């Protein structure tokens, strides 16, 4: 049988071999999360869009898909915010600057920034969902005049688990940012709002046709957030969701990341809501 | 190309001829009723008349387990392994298994082509054989009849006195070079009949599945399904894989290994923190069937079930893909009648 789909001379890539990048800074965010700054070999730009991810590779441990948390507008290095939840992330938690880690990517379909340009940007982030959304937030902040309002709604289980507290404080003060935060359970000295993330949405005054929203959070969150946004009258066409599934390859081969017929590592992780509204496994 | 004839008495000589220049893989008897593709040493052990081999030729291109990279933990470096081309003749492959190879090609060679698969696959030559469908085959329902020569370099059609030989490619002609065969002009035998059928044209099946997402059959099958993943394991078009690192006992080197995985296993969609995206066995069964007849067919324009019947033959719970699909078709038609 001839290999008809192959053209002669077609380059076959080493799909699974990572490049060796260097951790240049490590910053503890909370008990569970750490921010890693990483430099690609030769200081090469990663060349990503907000919302894309990389496969982080530790030899002898494995690989994990991790979102790129820094904005492509910040050059030279990139950042990842990682929660300690299992084998690889646990080992990584012990790593110090100077250590090498393997990186493949960037992978996936990120946020199409052109769809947000000139519009009011609404970011809804739950828990660790702030990590990938931070890439978009900083993108908007770095090119502030290309966008309308920047509204950030952030929900966390408790105030001790809030991520990037220095940046949160800066957003709170920044007149160019409308920042709202809520925690499910506050510690005794929490002065802010308590309640789940959907409680932040009803009070928002939105210029509906002119607002584009991106949502990222734990699996249980999406359905409620989408219902609430629809309830406010935001059209599906203005909603993007960043979804997470188990991944084993990142390049559309292993079959693990499927939501019905869609491969999250290829079509996602960022989806336009109308494209997945019919996918029963999506939300 | 011209047809010729291979007498039954010359089949052994033919295999010997192939062996002079190539490694030959062919069906061998494994037990009373079971057969498997194996490397041929004794041509007399080859069985060209067989109902079905346990595993398909998939294992030669996508081995159950293989190394994706070797790494050195002292220097933190990884290297791609040397992959050996299969470079062999596969003698006695059924048409549906060749159709399955085409589907695997699609997964591993389109988009971002994968080196391991390509290197293995490149040197493979196929000699197809016709077969008599048994009580599990239903390849005819997905458009692959027992005489379908697609994908073969040479095809052998059963005849009472031997085999009618069709040479289909240049590679096929090269395989026969030096082995003279008399021409054959008689018509081919009649079509064989399948006892198993999916009672609907493929193009409407996608539409029927679309409407059967909440059909009771998923829960009903779930009651007997053991979630053992055997149906994935034996399927010639299932390609999903897992990846895991192995560290040598010395602790300073290791390898990243991939192995077959199956969407019927509960852990297939599990992520850290315990969330399992297809928690219910019913959802997994639906996913398996939809992948074969809808998801991948929508994406590639061809059914991903090739009708080999292996999953049904191998299921200890007696779950039949044909019964599931026919049940959906029957109920969809009844529904249509009611609403019409
Ligand atoms: C597109 C995407 C972006 C992500 N971004 C981040 C991020 O920015 N920060 C962060 O902390 N986490 C992120 N995750 C989740 C992260 O991938 C998992 O927490 C991580 O894989 C757990 O690996 P482990 O080895 O520590 O855990 P284990 O439970 O030991 O995982 C074993 C293997 O299972 C698979 N797996 C387990 N959990 C997940 C998961 N949630 N998603 C996909 N595969 C999984 C991986 O292949 C992993 O190597 C992201 C997941 C996806 C799909
Ligand atoms: S082989 Fe049968 S019992 Fe096992 S997972 Fe498949 S359908 Fe279920
Ligand atoms: S789904 Fe079953 S019948 Fe269809 S190709 Fe796979 S094993 Fe064969
Ligand atoms: S992660 Fe392997 S196919 Fe998407």
**Do residues B144 and B306 touch, judged by C-beta distance below 8 A?**
yes
- Say yes or no to pLDDT of B14 above 60: yes
Task: Look at strands B23-29 and B125-129 and give their pairing.
Answer: unpaired
- HEC string of B6-73 equals EEHHHHHHHHHHHHHHCEEEEEEECCCCCEEEEECCCHHHECCCCCCECCCCHHHHCCCEEEEEEEEC
Tell me the nearest-neighbour CA distance from A16 into chain B, angstroms.
7
| Residue A7 domain flag | no
The confidence score (pLDDT) of residue B32 equals 86
Could you tell me if A227 and A117 lie in one domain?
A: yes
| Residue A70 domain flag | yes
The confidence score (pLDDT) of residue B273 equals 86
> Taking the CA of residue B135 as centre, how many other CA atoms within 13 Å lie in the half-sphere pointing to its CB?
4
Q: Which residues of B touch A246 (CB under 8 A)?
A: 268-271, 277
Could you tell me if A118 and A78 lie in one domain?
A: no
Q: What are phi and psi of B46, to 5 degrees?
A: -75, 135
What integer is the mean pLDDT of A193-209? 95
Tokens for A108?
């996936």
**A53 close to ligand 1 (CB < 6 Angstrom):** yes
- Residue A261 contacts B where some CB pair is shorter than 8 Å: yes
Which of A265, B221, A167 is closest to A152 using CA atoms? A167
Could you tell me if A33 and A132 lie in one domain?
A: no
| Residue A276 domain flag | no
**Do residues A51 and A116 touch, judged by C-beta distance below 8 A?**
no
| Residue A257 domain flag | no
- Say yes or no to pLDDT of B282 above 90: yes
pLDDT band with cut points at 50, 70 and 90 for residue B4: very high
- Say yes or no to pLDDT of B241 above 60: yes
Could you tell me if A227 and A122 lie in one domain?
A: yes
The confidence score (pLDDT) of residue B193 equals 85
Distance B335 CA to ligand 3 centre (A): 27
Q: State the CB neighbour count (10 A cutoff) for residue B109.
A: 19
List for chain B the helix, strand, coil content (%; round to 5): 35, 20, 40
Q: Which domain holds residue A101?
A: 19-107
CB pair distance less than 8 Å for B115 and A15 = yes
Q: State pLDDT tens for residues B118-149.
A: 999 988 999 999 999 999 999 999 999 999 99
- Say yes or no to pLDDT of B30 above 80: yes
Residues B8, B10, B13, B19: is their CA dihedral positive or negative?
negative
Q: State the CB neighbour count (10 A cutoff) for residue B220.
A: 15
Mutate to test the pocket of ligand 3, among B236, B263, B324 (most ligand atoms within 8 A of CB): B236
- Say yes or no to pLDDT of B336 above 90: no
Could you tell me if A58 and A160 lie in one domain?
A: no
- Say yes or no to pLDDT of B337 above 80: no
Q: The CATH number of the domain where A197 resides is what?
A: 3.40.50.80
Could you tell me if A144 and A59 lie in one domain?
A: no
- Say yes or no to pLDDT of B201 above 90: no
Strands in B88-93's sheet, in edge-to-edge order, are B3-7, B162-167, B154-159, B125-129, B88-93, B23-29, B35-39
Distance A64 CA to ligand 1 centre (A): 5
Distance CA B150, CA B189 (A): 18
ipTM at complex level: 0.92
pLDDT band with cut points at 50, 70 and 90 for residue A1: low
The confidence score (pLDDT) of residue B326 equals 95
Q: Which of A60, A62, A268 to mutate to test the interface with B (most CBs of B within 10 A)?
A: A60
Share of chain A above pLDDT 90, in %: 93
Q: What is the total count of domains within chain A?
A: 2
- Say yes or no to pLDDT of B190 above 90: no
Distance CA B184, CA A127 (A): 73
Share of chain A above pLDDT 70, in %: 95
Q: State pLDDT tens for residues A212-252.
A: 999 999 999 999 999 999 999 999 999 999 999 999 999 99
| Residue A219 domain flag | yes
Distances (CA, A) of A154 to A71, A116, A194, A212: 18, 19, 12, 16
Distances (CA, A) of B250 to A87, A102, B72: 20, 22, 11
Alpha helices in A195-272 (DSSP H): 221-232, 264-267
| Residue A101 domain flag | yes
Could you tell me if A234 and A126 lie in one domain?
A: yes
The confidence score (pLDDT) of residue A3 equals 66
| Partner residue facing A1 (CB), from B151, B270, B298 | B151
The residues, ordered by sequence, that sit 6+ positions from B30 with a Cβ below 8 Å of its Cβ are B36, B54
Ligand index nearest the alpha carbon of residue B231: 2
- Residue A41 contacts B where some CB pair is shorter than 8 Å: no
pTM of the complete model beyond 0.90 = yes
**Do residues A260 and A270 touch, judged by C-beta distance below 8 A?**
no
Closest residue to atom 43 of ligand 1, CA basis: A246
pLDDT band with cut points at 50, 70 and 90 for residue A12: low
**A85 close to ligand 1 (CB < 6 Angstrom):** yes
| Partner residue facing B113 (CB), from A2, A12, A260 | A12
pLDDT band with cut points at 50, 70 and 90 for residue B185: confident
**Do residues A249 and A16 touch, judged by C-beta distance below 8 A?**
yes
Q: Where do the structural domains in chain B lie, given as residue ranges?
A: 2-63+73-176, 202-339
Task: Look at strands B241-247 and B253-260 and give their pairing.
Answer: antiparallel
Could you tell me if A228 and A129 lie in one domain?
A: yes
The confidence score (pLDDT) of residue B202 equals 72
Task: Look at strands A178-185 and A258-259 and give their pairing.
Answer: unpaired
What integer is the mean pLDDT of B31-36? 90
What integer is the mean pLDDT of B239-268? 96
Distance B131 CA to ligand 3 centre (A): 17
Distance A68 CA to ligand 4 centre (A): 18
Mutate to test the pocket of ligand 2, among B291, B314, B319, B323 (most ligand atoms within 8 A of CB): B319
Could you tell me if A25 and A45 lie in one domain?
A: yes
Residue ending a domain, among A77, A107, A137, is: A107
Could you tell me if A103 and A176 lie in one domain?
A: no
- Say yes or no to pLDDT of A7 above 60: no
Residue ending a domain, among A61, A92, A107, is: A107
Residue of B nearest to A100 (CA): B76
| Strand ranges for B195-339 from DSSP E | 241-247, 253-260
| Residue A10 domain flag | no
| Partner residue facing B106 (CB), from A5, A16, A281 | A5
**Do residues B256 and B235 touch, judged by C-beta distance below 8 A?**
no
Closest residue to atom 8 of ligand 2, CA basis: B225
- Say yes or no to pLDDT of B24 above 90: yes
pLDDT band with cut points at 50, 70 and 90 for residue A11: low
Could you tell me if A39 and A93 lie in one domain?
A: yes
The residues, ordered by sequence, that sit 6+ positions from A261 with a Cβ below 8 Å of its Cβ are A279, B290, B294, B295, B296, B298, B299
Across all residues in chain A, what is the average pLDDT?
A: 94
Q: State pLDDT tens for residues A131-185.
A: 999 999 999 999 999 999 999 999 999 999 999 999 999 999 999 999 999 999 9
- Say yes or no to pLDDT of B203 above 80: no
What integer is the mean pLDDT of B180-188? 84
Tokens for B27?
């069906």
Q: The CATH number of the domain where A87 resides is what?
A: 2.40.30.10
Tokens 């050195």 sit on residue: B72
Tell me the nearest-neighbour CA distance from A142 into chain B, angstroms.
33
Which of A122, A131, A106 is closest to A209 using CA atoms? A122
Across all residues in chain B, what is the average pLDDT?
A: 94
Share of chain B above pLDDT 70, in %: 99
The confidence score (pLDDT) of residue B334 equals 85
Could you tell me if A238 and A120 lie in one domain?
A: yes
Distance B267 CA to ligand 3 centre (A): 22
**Do residues A283 and A223 touch, judged by C-beta distance below 8 A?**
yes
Distance B232 CA to ligand 2 centre (A): 8
Tell me the nearest-neighbour CA distance from A5 into chain B, angstroms.
7
Residue ending a domain, among A73, A107, A141, is: A107
Q: Which residues of A touch B68 (CB under 8 A)?
A: 16
A184 class by beta-carbon count within 10 Å (0-12 exposed, 13-18 middle, 19+ buried): middle
Q: State pLDDT tens for residues A14-55.
A: 899 999 999 999 999 999 999 999 999 999 999 999 999 999
What integer is the mean pLDDT of B3-29? 96
């Amino acid at each position: 049988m001839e290999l008809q789909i192959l053209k002669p001379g077609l380059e076959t890539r080493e799909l699974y071999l990572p490049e060796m990048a260097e951790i240049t800074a490590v910053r503890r965010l909370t008990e569970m999360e750490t921010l890693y700054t990483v430099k690609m070999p030769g200081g090469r730009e990663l060349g990503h869009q907000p919302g894309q991810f990389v496969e982080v590779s530790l030899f002898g441990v494995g690989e994990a898909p991790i979102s790129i948390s820094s904005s492509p507008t910040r050059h030279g290095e990139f950042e990842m915010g990682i929660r300690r939840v299992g084998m690889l992330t646990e080992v990584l938690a012990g790593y110090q600057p100077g250590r090498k880690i393997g990186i493949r990517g960037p992978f996936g379909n990120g946020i199409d920034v052109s769809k947000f340009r000139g519009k009011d940007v609404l970011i809804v982030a739950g828990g660790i969902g702030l990590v990938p959304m931070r890439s978009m937030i900083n993108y908007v902040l770095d090119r502030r005049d290309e966008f309308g309002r920047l509204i950030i709604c952030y929900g966390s289980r408790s105030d001790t688990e809030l991520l990037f507290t220095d940046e949160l404080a800066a957003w709170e003060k920044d007149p160019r940012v409308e920042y709202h935060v809520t925690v499910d359970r506050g510690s005794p000295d929490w002065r802010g709002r308590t309640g789940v993330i959907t409680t932040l949405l009803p009070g928002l005054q939105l210029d509906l046709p002119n607002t584009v929203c991106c949502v990222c959070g734990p699996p249980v969150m999406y359905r409620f957030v989408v219902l609430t946004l629809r309830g406010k009258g935001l059209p599906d066409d203005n909603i993007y969701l960043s979804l997470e599934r188990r991944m084993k390859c990142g390049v559309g081969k292993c079959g693990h990341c499927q939501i019905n017929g869609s491969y999250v590592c290829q079509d996602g992780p960022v989806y336009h809501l109308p494209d997945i509204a019919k996918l029963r496994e999506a939300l | 190309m011209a047809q010729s004839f291979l007498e039954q008495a010359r089949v052994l000589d033919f295999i010997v001829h192939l062996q002079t220049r190539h490694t030959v893989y062919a069906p061998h008897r494994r037990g009373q009723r079971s057969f498997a593709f194996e490397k041929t040493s004794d041509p007399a052990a080859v069985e060209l008349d067989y109902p079905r081999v346990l595993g398909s030729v998939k294992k030669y291109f996508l081995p159950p387990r293989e190394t994706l990279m070797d790494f050195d933990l002292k220097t933190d470096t990884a290297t791609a392994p040397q992959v050996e081309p299969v470079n062999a003749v596969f003698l006695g492959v059924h048409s549906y298994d060749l159709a399955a190879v085409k589907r695997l090609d699609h997964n591993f060679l389109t988009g971002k082509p994968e080196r391991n698969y390509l290197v293995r696959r490149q040197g493979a030559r196929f000699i197809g054989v016709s077969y008599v469908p048994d009580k599990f085959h239903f390849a005819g329902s997905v458009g692959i009849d027992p005489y379908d020569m697609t994908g073969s370099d040479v095809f052998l059609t059963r005849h009472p006195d031997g085999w009618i030989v069709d040479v289909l490619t240049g590679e096929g002609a090269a395989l026969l070079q030096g082995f003279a065969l008399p021409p054959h002009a008689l018509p081919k035998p009649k079509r064989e009949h399948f006892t198993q059928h999916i009672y609907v044209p493929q193009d409407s099946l996608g539409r029927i599945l679309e409407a059967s997402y909440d059909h009771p059959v998923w829960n009903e099958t779930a009651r007997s399904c053991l979630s053992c993943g055997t149906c994935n394991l034996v399927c010639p078009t299932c390609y999903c894989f897992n990846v895991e690192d192995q560290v040598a006992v010395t602790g300073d080197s290791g390898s990243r290994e991939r192995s077959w995985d199956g969407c019927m296993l509960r852990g297939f969609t599990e992520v850290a923190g315990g969330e399992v995206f297809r928690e219910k066995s019913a959802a997994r069964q639906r996913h398996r069937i939809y992948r074969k007849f809808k998801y991948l067919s929508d994406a590639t324009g061809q059914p991903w079930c090739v009708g080999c019947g292996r999953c049904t033959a191998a299921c200890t719970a007696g779950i039949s893909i044909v019964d599931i699909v026919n049940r959906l078709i029957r109920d969809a038609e009844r529904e249509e009648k009611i609403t019409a």
